[in-house]
Amino acid sequence: MRKILRGLRQIITFPFRLLGKVIVFPIKAFKRAQIFLTEEPEDQPLVEAFTATLKQPSALLEHVDALRKHLFRMVIGLVIGVAICATLTTRIIDILSVPIGGINTLQAIDVTESVGVFMRVALVAGFALALPYIAFELWLFAAPGLHARARQMGLLGIPLTLIFFIGGVLFAYYLLLPTALPFLLSFMGIHTIPRVSSYVDFVTGLLFWIGIAFEFPLVTYVLSLMGIVKPKWLAKYWRHAIVIIAIIAAAVTPTVDPVNMSLVMAPMILLYFLSIGLSQMAVMGRRSKKIDSA
């Protein structure tokens, strides 16, 4: 009889217990997040941390296992992003073909060419959609070793990954492609009718790598928060950086003329000097935090 009454009580009180857990869950989650964002790790120099890892390899295995879990979740996020973008791929291809005059100006030769184009566009668009989540997983992996301020600023900077990437994509789409395509399609007076696969590979590759290049200031800021990159070092070797940027621009630029190469170089150089400023801000933030804690 007691078991029956106990079972009835569990059934009757279940909705109220479930409601209580639903109400308490966000409060507990907020407290855990607040502790995670404000907790200061043990301040240990990089050399000492590396030496300690060599003495205790098991600690390194724990980090490797944690990285494996984050990578797995990143792959899951990428798969979801690709699945979502697969429903919009036809529309995305139409948008990508606008600079050349529309999808009707392209032709397919191979039987499976259209399928390959569809999958490539879905993959690139899915990566762009999943980029903030991928950055969030990377932040979760690195956050335990960061100071509280670096942790908080890194979390706030995650939405910027998508903004910077989209900024690079829009720059390439609206400024670079309209100037590069006429030159390429009319070079030596030869009329060109591009294949849909070659055109989409060319456009998606250009948009993707320019978008990745626009992430440089954000990456520099995060590395400066971690103490890996110094603004003085960036400022000292700015001439070398310009040479490297010129090489990258020559590899990414779809044409060999200096005009289009300059269109790629100019924003990348500006982004480099912006990275120096952001790196200096990160270092100043680290110093002020150390002074306050002292």
- For the chain, the residue count is 294
**Would 8 be classed as within a structural domain?**
no
pTM: 0.70
What SS3 class is residue 106? coil
Token pair belonging to 243 = 């040479």
pLDDT classification of 274: cutoffs 50, 70, 90: confident
Contact indicator for 73, 184 with CB cutoff of 8 Å = no
pLDDT tens, 128-142? 888 888 888 888 887
Q: Containing H/E element for 200?
A: helix 196-213
Please list, in sequence order, all residues whose beta carbon lies within 8 angstroms of the beta carbon of residue 5, skipping any fewer than 6 positions away: none
Tell me: pLDDT of 171 over 80.
yes
Residue 22 belongs to some domain of the structure:
no
Classify residue 159: in a domain, yes or no: yes
Query: Does any domain span residue 172?
Result: yes
Task: Identify the domain containing residue 200 by its residue range.
Answer: 63-293
3-state helix vs strand vs coil in the chain, percent to 5: 85, 0, 15
**Which of the four pLDDT bands, split at 50, 70 and 90, describes residue 47?**
very low
CA-angle at 158, arms to 155 and 164, nearest 5°: 150
For residue 283, report the phi and psi dihedrals to the nearest 5 degrees.
-65, -40
Measuring CA to CA, how many Å separate 256 from each of 13, 37, 76, 248, 252?
Answer: 74, 48, 39, 13, 10
> Is residue 102 one of the residues assigned to a domain?
yes
Helix/strand number for the chain, H first, E second: 12, 0
Identify the DSSP state of 269: H
pLDDT of residue 82: 92
Res. 79: pLDDT tops 90: yes
Domain count, the chain: 1
